[in-house]
Amino acid sequence: MTTLVLEVNGVVRRVQVEQEGTRFLVTLDGVRHALDAAEIEPGRWSLLFDAAQHSHEVLVRSGQTGAATVIVDGATVPVRVLDPRRRWSAGAAKDGGGDGPVRVTAPMPGKVVRVLVQPGEVVTARQGLVVVEAMKMENELRAPRAGTVRDVQACEGASVEAGALLLTIG
């Protein structure tokens, strides 16, 4: 089993991957998914999530060390592998490792299912903020650090594009 801590479009995600032939069991922030993967060409994959009726084309372009651009069905998503020892150290867990405002954006096109916080609310690191449904999966976006919710742009039921600002934590 491989465990990774990723920053996906500015949101920290914990991913565990187990491979069984061409099938993968992927646990994303505690939610388990099964997927079948077929490499079309180097760096380009066809993924079938949880026995869905259609596949998703994923292209992975490596960047700087630990960074990549992932294109899912045409939507670009920046991804960076974080060092979990550095990211989740006592100091980082307390303040999230930064002082300025943090913009939480949609990692890919989807629909806002639930907004879990309101402006002025104090949040802790890794607390759920917004649930976005994309590719028939619900993704809970979590606070990358503790802080106060400055503003909320996300509205339940609204469609969002990849990179759309959902909320800001100050």
Q: Supply 22's token pair.
A: 């061409």
The structure's pTM equals: 0.48
Q: Indicate the class that CATH gives domain 2-82.
A: alpha beta
Q: Say if residue 62's pLDDT is above 60.
A: yes
Torsion of CA 116, 159, 170, 107, to 10 degrees: 100
Give the domain 97-169 fold. OB fold (Dihydrolipoamide Acetyltransferase, E2P) (2.40.50)
Other beta carbons less than 10 A from residue 169's beta carbon: 26
Confidence (pLDDT) at 75: 82
Residues 56, 135: contact at Cβ < 8 Å? Answer: yes
Pairing state of beta strands 102-105 and 159-160? Answer: unpaired
Could you report the per-residue pLDDT of 72-97, keeping only the tens digit for each? Answer: 888 888 888 876 544 433 333 333 44
CATH 2.40.50.100 segments of the chain: 97-169
